[in-house]
């Protein structure tokens, strides 16, 4: 089944009705959970910066950003990701680490910085077809694991001076995983594009098993029934080398998560990166005055619906 859409929300609104009517597979994952499944689903997203859902049920700006920074930290710490996505506790085998964490696989798998290697290759040979990052590994099914990576590969192709990204997944939870996956992967697409000095092209997403678990069918139907929301793209990432800003963002997120008070504008001159840090601060804020100050400092107004929703949950406006 193929989809061609402008945005993440367009894709989900077209995908979910098909999944809701898809065949039921019994006894998935430990013989306890049933799911609706479509085989071999592919999607083209033409506006990959429209990576944040505007829906009430799937608008996950804070958890998606937290997961991206976890990837970029290159680590697999369970405590790092738990504040953003508590469900990761179910994927830990030792209550300290996550075996299938993407950070080590992207940036240090068997001694290889795979993202760094892709950037080097595409700088030297822009037309290369070899710019592939492997996430799933043969060792992942050599023994029983609580969870293994759902993503198989990331491929990068420069065509017509634009970076196309193709993600292949063995398995994709369309309700919980898909919004986070597309956010994180299109952000990586933009990071690589800036690193090699080209524009972003389309994003292509392929899943061998695209599915939704039975307990999430009602919430998926709620998204389908929602009134159409105005599309908003994230602003373009500032041109030039992004890695110093990424390093600062990763370090600052660690400080915020551990209770340190920092000022985003003192760390970043560019509003783009300062806003991302403020989102992290807003997520962790429990003080009304601090929350209001951070909200007022935001440069990109497209984040405001997520901030307002966060404020309502923690008693701030």
**282 and 196 share one domain:** no
Asked if 194 and 265 sit in the same domain, the reply is no
Q: Are residues 52 and 194 in the same domain?
A: yes
Q: Give me the tens of pLDDT residue by residue for the chain, a chain 317 residues long.
A: 999 999 999 999 999 999 999 999 886 555 457 999 999 999 999 999 999 998 867 778 999 999 999 999 999 999 999 999 999 999 999 999 999 999 999 999 999 999 999 999 999 999 999 999 999 999 999 999 999 999 999 999 999 999 999 999 999 999 999 999 999 999 999 999 999 999 999 999 999 999 999 999 998 998 888 756 667 899 999 999 999 999 999 999 999 999 999 999 999 999 999 999 999 999 999 999 999 999 999 999 999 999 999 988 777 75
Tell me: do 103 and 16 sit in the same domain: yes
Residue 302 lies in a domain: yes
Kindly report the number of other CB atoms within 10 A of residue 315's CB atom: 9
Same domain, yes or no: 163 and 266:
no
- The answer to whether position 10 is within a domain reads yes
Q: What is the pLDDT of residues 118-166, one digit of tens each?
A: 999 999 999 999 999 999 999 999 999 999 999 999 999 999 999 999 9
164 three-state secondary structure: strand
How much is the pTM? 0.95
Per-residue model confidence (pLDDT) at position 228? 61
Residues 247 and 216 in one domain: no
**Helical axes 177-196 vs 114-124, angle rounded to 10°:** 40
| Range 4-7 contact pairs with CB under 8 angstroms and sequence separation of 24 or more | 4/43, 4/44, 4/46, 5/43, 5/44, 5/45, 5/46, 6/45, 6/46, 6/47, 6/50, 6/231, 7/45, 7/47, 7/50, 7/231
The predicted pLDDT at position 150 comes to 97
18 and 111 together in one domain: yes
Q: What is the CATH number of the domain that holds 9?
A: 3.30.572.10
68 and 104 share one domain: yes
- The values of phi and psi at residue 47, to 5°, are -120, 75
Same domain, 199 and 66: yes
Please give the Cα distance from 275 to 272 (Å, whole number): 5
- Angle, in degrees to the nearest 10, between helices 61-72 and 243-257: 110
Q: Is 300 within a domain?
A: yes
Regarding whether 258 and 217 lie in a shared domain, the answer is no
Q: Is residue 78 part of a domain?
A: yes
What is the tally of structural domains in the chain? 2
Q: Which two tokens stand for residue 211?
A: 């599915």
* 287 & 173 share domain: no
Position 92 in a domain: yes
Does the residue 234 lie in any domain? no
Do 201 and 248 reside in the same domain of the chain?
no
Q: Which one of 191, 225, 259 terminates a domain?
A: 225
In a domain, 230, yes or no: no
Domain that residue 274 falls in: 243-314
pLDDT at 194: 98
Residue 88, in any domain of the structure: yes
Q: Domain end: 194, 225, 256, which one?
A: 225
Q: Which of 198, 225, 252 is the last residue of a domain?
A: 225
Tell me what pLDDT residue 236 has: 98
Question: Which ranges of 167-270 does DSSP label H, i.e. alpha helix?
Answer: 177-196, 217-225, 243-257, 264-267
Residue 28 is predicted with a pLDDT of: 56
């Amino acid at each position: 089944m193929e989809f061609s859409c402008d945005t993440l929300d367009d894709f989900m609104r077209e995908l979910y009705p098909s999944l809701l009517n898809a065949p039921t597979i019994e006894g998935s994952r430990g013989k306890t959970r049933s799911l609706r499944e479509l085989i071999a689903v592919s999607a083209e997203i033409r506006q990959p910066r429209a990576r944040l859902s505007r829906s009430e049920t799937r608008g996950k700006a804070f958890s998606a950003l937290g997961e991206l920074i976890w990837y970029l930290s290159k680590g697999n710490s369970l405590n790092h990701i738990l504040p953003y996505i508590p469900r990761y506790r179910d994927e830990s085998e030792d209550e300290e680490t996550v075996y299938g964490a993407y950070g080590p696989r992207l940036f240090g798998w068997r001694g290889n910085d795979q993202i760094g290697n892709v950037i080097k290759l595409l700088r030297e040979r822009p037309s290369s077809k070899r710019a592939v990052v492997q996430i799933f590994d043969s060792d992942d099914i050599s023994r029983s694991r609580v969870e293994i990576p759902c993503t198989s590969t990331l491929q990068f192709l420069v065509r017509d001076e634009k970076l196309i990204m193709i993600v292949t997944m063995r398995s994709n939870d369309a309700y919980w995983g898909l919004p986070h996956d597309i956010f994180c992967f299109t952000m990586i697409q933009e990071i690589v594009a800036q690193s090699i000095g080209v524009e972003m092209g389309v994003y292509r997403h392929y899943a061998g098993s695209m599915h939704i678990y039975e307990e999430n069918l009602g919430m998926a139907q709620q998204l389908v029934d929602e009134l159409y929301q105005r599309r908003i793209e994230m602003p373009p990432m500032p041109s030039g080398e992004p890695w110093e800003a990424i390093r600062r963002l990763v370090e600052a997120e660690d400080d915020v998560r551990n209770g340190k008070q920092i000022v985003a504008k003192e760390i970043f001159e560019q509003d783009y990166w300062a806003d991302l840090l403020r989102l992290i601060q807003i997520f962790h804020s429990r003080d009304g005055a601090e929350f209001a100050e951070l909200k007022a400092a935001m440069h990109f107004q497209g984040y405001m619906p997520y901030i307002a929703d966060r404020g309502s949950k923690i008693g701030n406006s």
